[in-house]
Amino acid sequence: MKLLLYTVTLILMLTSTYAALIYAPTEVIMGNIQRIFYFHMGTVWVATVAFIIVFISSIFYLIKGKKKWDVLAYTSAEIGVLFITLTIITGSIWAKPVWGTWWTWDPQLTTTFILWILYIVYLLIRVNSGYDEKKAKYSAVFAIIAFIDLPLVYISARVMRGISPVVFGPGGGGIEPKMLYALLITLVSFTLLFILLLIERVKIENLNIKLTN
């Protein structure tokens, strides 16, 4: 079963790399730099899923008090921080030639930045909260607060005019079919990668707990 997951993920990752770099047509205005957009979307998607998992499992931990929810929240947060860092890096690489700057304080970027800080702080609380149960409770409380905080950060930053591209939904420019396929493959393969990482990380964390106790 695990071998199958590994194989499928590997194949899909290679396919999505091919799709993003070769299969998808070159964007007319931005040129080749636009190809990083597929990985950018993939990483931000994984980070979003990861932080939603952190939020939900934190609530479950506070209600049920079962250790497995805490382990899930922690491991998911760690992977989320990794992928949101990648999102910021790929976004900056894309923004430099297209916008002419590495960074700007537009609502989406501001929210992403705060998101990044909040979950780094989440990991920081885990390092500094002493014994297990207290650590789990504090970080769960913080995860819930942080998640609720994000929409408010976005709304507050919204007053400024946004320049991040809105691709889908009302006002979006739409997307060419081949690009859409490449994007979908990337999203699927990144999701599988996330599941794979999460399973492995939970296993390591459980071993870690077994060793320390």
Residues that bind other proteins (CB under 8 A): 62, 114, 117-118, 121, 124-125, 128-130, 134, 137-138, 140-142, 144-146, 148-149, 152-153, 155-157, 159
Rounded to a whole number of angstroms, the minimum distance from the CB of residue 111 to other proteins is 10
Residue (129 or 206) nearer to other proteins, CB:
129
Position of tokens 């780094």? 120
Residue (92 or 129) nearer to other proteins, CB:
129
Residue (76 or 111) nearer to other proteins, CB:
111
Gap between the Cα atoms of 51 and 115, Å rounded: 9
Q: Quote the Cα angle for 118-172-119, to 5°.
A: 5
Of 88, 151, 76, nearest to 119 by C-alpha is 76
Could you give the C-alpha distances from 132 to 125, 126, 128, 212, in angstroms and in order?
12, 9, 11, 11
Residue (157 or 185) nearer to other proteins, CB:
157
Rounded to a whole number of angstroms, the minimum distance from the CB of residue 35 to other proteins is 33
Of 38, 37, 166, nearest to 92 by C-alpha is 37
Gap between the Cα atoms of 33 and 15, Å rounded: 19
